[in-house]
Each structure stands twice: as structure tokens, then as C-alpha cells.
A = this chain, B = another copy of it.
Amino acid sequence: MCVMQAAADRLAAKLNTFVQLSYGELDCLTRLQSRPTSVKIGHALVQEGQTGHKAFILQAGWACSFKSMRDGNRQIIGFPIPGDCIGLRSVLLRTSDHSFSALTEATVSGVDASRMIGIFNEFPRLGAAILWAASREEAMVVEHLVNIGRRSALERTANFFLELGERLRLVGLASETTYACPLNQYVLADALGLSAIHVNRVLRQLRELGLMTLKGGQVVIHDVTALEHLGGFEKQDPVTRT
């Protein structure tokens, strides 16, 4: 087992949960990525409408993917956390349909787009693993869609923080009831499809109900069961390997 290697490279660690990767495949993944570089806060990684991009693997820090609209509003699609791919789709579709920007100082490794396609010839299993990762990402977007489309602001927010917590826990960045979360109320509003002011009201309500608190970039969940019930949250199935 290549534990060290897996720990050093979050992408490998992630794909490895899906298919058991060989040394050759792990090596290919390593060569695919450039040396990690750091990104300043607020800096855009991928611009909407751009062509011929790179993709990135987020190694540390927080980012968000979003689409901005003509009226100046924006909708945040998701928050990549360490280990997640950024802009994978833009490599395949050749043109990005949304932007990415760093929410905190972050470090990313670039992935060479042209070599990406070549992988499918050289290491087909790796291709399947990447497809699997893309599918997981899409499943998250679907969850997000359901959340916004069919839940009230309160339920929606509860669900959001539970889901985020679960994802962070999978990569060791959250405990059972607490995690660091640098998202401010404006960012949350853009993610939840609410106004920033209403996010504030909702957070207060969650606090007053004794369910959870977001203060100083720290989420603390006081009553997991009640919060899960409110948010209509169901635990994810564990991953089965192929």
C-alpha cells in the first residue's frame, strides 16, 4: 500500500477509494500534476467563458465555483474542499461555463489538460476513476439543486451545514460536531439562493433553537439529531470499491 504517496497527493487518495490504483497509475497521477502553487485570497482560478484552461486539484484552503449573472448577482455552485477537482469539466467541454475563485489562501496543483485526454489511452482505469469522481461531484450539485428548489430557508441552511460537515469529515477536516468554516453571510447567501440579510436571520434562528452556531469562522453543531431532522438530511452511503 502506498500510504505515504496517497497522503502526499489528495487526488490520488480520493481516486484510490474508488479503484485500487497500481504503482504505474499513481505515478501517472503524480506526473500529471504540477508543483503545488499558492493562490491569493479572492483570486480567480478559472474565468467563465475562457477557453483552453487548466484544471486544478485543490490541495489546501477553500474555494468556490459560481456563475455570475448579468444583473451582478451570482449563484455559487459548490465549495471545493481539499482533494477536489476544479475545472475538470471545462477541460472536457473546452469552454468553462462557470468561474472559480479562492475564498482563502489556497494551494493548488495544476493539471495539464492535453495530457488529461491522453490518460484514457494509457491508463483506462484511471479514466474510469476520474469519471467516478466527476459523478460524485455531479451528485453534489443535484443535492444542492434539491435543497434550493424544495426546502425553506431554514431547512436549506441546516442541510447545507450538515452536508458540508460530512464532506469535511471524510478528509479529516471536521469532527463530529464542529469544523472551521470561513464562509461569510454574503457567500452563504449566494450559495443558498437567499439574501445575505435573510441568511443572518436564519442563522439567528438556528442559534436560538439551540441547533447550531456559526461564529468566528467556526461551525458548532449543538443538536445533530434535531438539525438532521430539520434539514431532511440523510447520511450518505459508504463508497464501494470496484
Contacts and interface: CB of A to CB of B under 8 A. Distances in A.
Interface in A66-103: 67, 69-71, 73-75, 77, 88-89, 92-95, 97-98
A74 to B, nearest CB: 7
Given A128-B120, A131-B130, A138 B69 contact: no
User: Which range contains the number of A residues in contact with the other chain?
Assistant: 35 or more
Contact of A89 (B71, B135, B145): B135
B92 A146 contact: no
A117 B131 CA distance: 10
Task: Give 4 nearest A-B pairs by CB, closest first.
Answer: A149-B193, A120-B124, A75-B146, A138-B138
A9 interface: no
A48 to B, nearest CB: 11
A7 B67 CA distance: 35
A89 B125 contact: no
Chain copies in complex: 2
Contact of A92 (B88, B95, B135): B135
Interface in A89-140: 89, 92-95, 97-98, 117, 120-121, 124-125, 127-128, 130-132, 134-139
A77 to B, nearest CB: 6
A237 B97 CA distance: 10
B149 A75 contact: yes
